[in-house]
Amino acid sequence: MNVADLQGMVAALRDAGATTVGAHSTTSQWGTITGGSQARSLGWLPDWIPGARTLSGAESNCLQASFTGSKVTLTQWASHPDGDYSC
């Protein structure tokens, strides 16, 4: 049911004009939420990975395997406000 909910949210965002939609999660969280789904309907979503403590950690996270089956395109590291790194 969580996968269907995510599919609906993605569809609503696209219908509202969003040109970029991604999944902000970790592999562990994605597994809990979707059962590890790399369903065709979500597998194209780029990964946005939080959790690094430093910029170099965020850069390293770009090399992680994708939890959606797509690719990692954005990572974050802890700062005030959080820093974003484009992979």
Instruction: Name the helix (H) or strand (E) containing 84.
Output: strand 83-86
What is the percent of the chain with per-residue pLDDT over 90, rounded to a whole number? 66
> If you write DSSP's letter for every residue of 15-83 in order, what string do you get?
HTT-S---EE--HHHHHHHHSS---TTTTTSPEEEEEESSHHHHHHHTTSPPSSSS-EEEEEE-SSS-E
Q: At 39, is the pLDDT very low, low, confident or very high (cuts 50, 70, 90)?
A: low
pLDDT of residue 61 exceeding 90, the answer is yes
pLDDT of residue 38 exceeding 70, the answer is no
Q: At 54, is the pLDDT very low, low, confident or very high (cuts 50, 70, 90)?
A: very high
- Distances in Å between the Cα of 12 and the Cα atoms of 41, 58, 63, 68, 85 are 14, 29, 30, 19, 26
At residue 40, the pLDDT reads 66
| Domain ranges for the chain | 2-86
